């Protein structure tokens, strides 16, 4: 058979001056090729599609005081921005182990860091949940520094195929590892109204939990189903029609954010995983080992604060953060996703 020349496939053109759809943002999705576009988006205070801008880098590095030759753990690899900065501090000596439960993004990040010269000699990437830090430590030994960034990554939020955002149409999935467990859509099919209402209150402090849970279950009972992000947003909009019109848009926006957060926490068992991580954390640290943890909502922060105080009371940690560290006003201006961040730290006795 004669070799046929592959037909060139033209890029799908988008309407308007700028691309709005995630998949149309071909320049942002190729940062190695369109660096100028990437910098332009960042300067305007945005996060380029497919990327994640690391938060509190300066504050984290100042606290961890990483020295060449040390061994560290990034419990939540994500886009690898924090990992890259910590690797720089090692100056080619020592090792970092990096964990991520997401099979899609962890492969991309490993390849990206390898391309920057951080191969297996200095970096080991493991696809696992950070609740399994004890298993990692059994193989790697104890660590001199640990970082856990509990927020989900921007590239997960921005990709409509993952279903993390109410702003774009996509399957209502919300799993950090889409290969395991059940999706948020499947979860809603089996939940009771009382259970959903409790979830919205416990996981997101949702003030309209009763109204939203009633509407969601009503739609599911009428066989309309809630399979997509848009259908869930519309159910929330319908539930809040009693709010005066001039206040409704903002109320719907915030309730959407909280409802998606509550469901994401539930399907990924995030509180259970965080509790397990915090219980195991002191036992994987060397004496004098330092840990920094970034949280993004009150439920996470309460768990972290309580755990650090208890281990300090028992003498396991010699010092802990008495006050949270927040990103600077300048960083929040550059990156709006930094505004809810709180950093806490501890030092092993």
DSSP track, 55-70 = SSHHHHHHHH---TT-
Q: For the chain, which residues make up each domain, given as ranges?
A: 57-154+271-348, 178-267
- Report the distance separating Cα 18 and Cα 144, nearest Å: 46
- Whose tokens are 């999935």? That residue is 173
310 touches 261 (CB < 8 A): no
- Averaged over 52-56, what is the pLDDT? 80
In the numeric block, which tokens belong to residue 264? 């994401």
Is 45 a residue whose pLDDT tops 50?
no
What is the structure's pLDDT at 38?
46
Structure tokens at 247: 């206040």
Mean pLDDT of the chain: 87
Residue 253 belongs to what H/E stretch? helix 245-267
DSSP-assigned states of every residue in 148-211: EE-SPPHHHHH-GGG---TTS--BS---SSTTSS--HHHHHHH--HHHHHHHHHHHH--TTHHH
The pLDDT of residue 190 is 92
Q: Confirm if 158 and 152 have CB atoms less than 8 A apart.
A: no
What Å distances lie between residue 2 and 8, 157, 283, CA to CA?
Answer: 18, 45, 64
DSSP count for the chain of H helices, then E strands:
14, 7
Q: Residue 144: helix, strand or coil by DSSP?
A: strand
pLDDT at 222: 86
**End-to-end Cα distance, the chain:** 71
Mapped onto helix, strand or coil, the DSSP state of residue 222 is coil
Which CATH number is associated with domain 57-154+271-348?
3.40.50.150
Residue 10: pLDDT over 70 = no
CB 304 within 8 A of CB 295: yes
pLDDT tops 90 at residue 47: no
178-267: CATH topology: DNA polymerase; domain 1 (1.10.150)
**Cα–Cα distance measured from residue 14 to residue 175, given in angstroms and rounded to the nearest whole number:** 29
Residue 4 pLDDT? 46
Tens digit of each residue's pLDDT (9 = 90 or more) over 165-206: 898 899 999 999 999 999 999 999 999 999 999 999 999 999
In the predicted model, is pLDDT for residue 51 greater than 80?
Answer: no
Identify the three-state secondary structure at position 58.
helix
Q: Are 101 and 127 in contact (CB under 8 A)?
A: yes
Statement: residue 17 has pLDDT above 80: no
Is 171 in contact with 161 (CB distance < 8 Å)? yes
Question: At 310, phi and psi to the nearest 5?
Answer: -65, -45
Residue pLDDT, tens place only, 215-272: 999 999 887 779 999 999 999 999 999 999 999 999 999 999 999 999 999 999 999 9
- Residue linked to tokens 């997401």: 102
Lowest mean pLDDT among 88-97, 106-115, 156-165, 273-282: 156-165
| Confidence band of 335 (pLDDT split at 50, 70, 90) | confident
Tell me what pLDDT residue 25 has.
47
Per-residue pLDDT of 63-73, as tens digits, reads 999 999 999 99
Is the CB of residue 134 less than 8 Å from the CB of residue 104? no
pLDDT at 310 over 80: yes
Quick check: 156 pLDDT over 90? no
Three-state secondary-structure class, residue 11: coil
Average pLDDT rounded to a whole number, residues 88-100: 97
Q: What is the pLDDT of residue 101?
A: 92
């Amino acid at each position: 058979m004669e070799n046929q020349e592959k037909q060139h496939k033209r890029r799908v053109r988008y309407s308007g001056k700028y691309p709005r759809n995630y998949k149309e943002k071909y320049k942002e999705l190729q940062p190695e090729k369109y660096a100028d576009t990437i910098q332009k988006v960042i300067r305007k205070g945005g996060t380029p599609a497919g990327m994640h801008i690391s938060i509190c880098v300066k504050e984290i590095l100042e606290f961890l005081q990483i020295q060449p030759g040390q061994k560290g753990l990034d419990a939540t690899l994500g886009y690898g921005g924090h990992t890259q900065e910590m690797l720089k501090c090692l100056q080619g000596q020592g090792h970092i182990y990096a964990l991520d439960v997401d099979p899609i993004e962890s492969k991309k990040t490993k390849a990206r860091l390898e391309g920057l010269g951080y191969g297996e000699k200095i970096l080991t990437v493991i696809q696992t949940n950070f609740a399994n830090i004890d298993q990692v430590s059994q193989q790697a030994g104890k660590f001199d520094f640990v970082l856990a960034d509990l927020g989900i990554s921007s590239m997960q939020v921005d990709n409509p195929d993952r279903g993390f955002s109410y702003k774009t149409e996509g399957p209502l999935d919300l799993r950090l590892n889409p290969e395991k467990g059940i999706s948020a859509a499947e979860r809603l099919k089996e939940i009771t109204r009382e259970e959903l209402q409790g979830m919205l209150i416990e996981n997101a402090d949702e003030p309209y939990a009763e109204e939203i849970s009633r509407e969601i279950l009503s739609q599911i009972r009428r066989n309309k189903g809630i399979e997509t992000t848009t259908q869930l947003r519309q159910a929330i909009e319908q539930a809040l029609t009693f709010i005066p019109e001039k206040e409704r848009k903002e109320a719907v926006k915030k309730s959407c954010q909280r409802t998606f957060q509550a469901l994401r926490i539930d399907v990924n068992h995030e509180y259970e995983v965080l509790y397990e991580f915090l219980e195991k954390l002191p036992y994987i640290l060397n004496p004098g080992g330092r840990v920094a943890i970034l949280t993004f909502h009150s439920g996470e922060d309460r768990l972290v604060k309580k755990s650090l105080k208890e281990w300090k009371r028992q003498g396991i940690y010699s010092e802990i953060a008495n006050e949270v560290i927040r990103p600077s006003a300048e960083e929040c201006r550059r990156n709006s996703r930094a505004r809810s961040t709180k950093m806490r730290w501890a030092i092993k006795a």
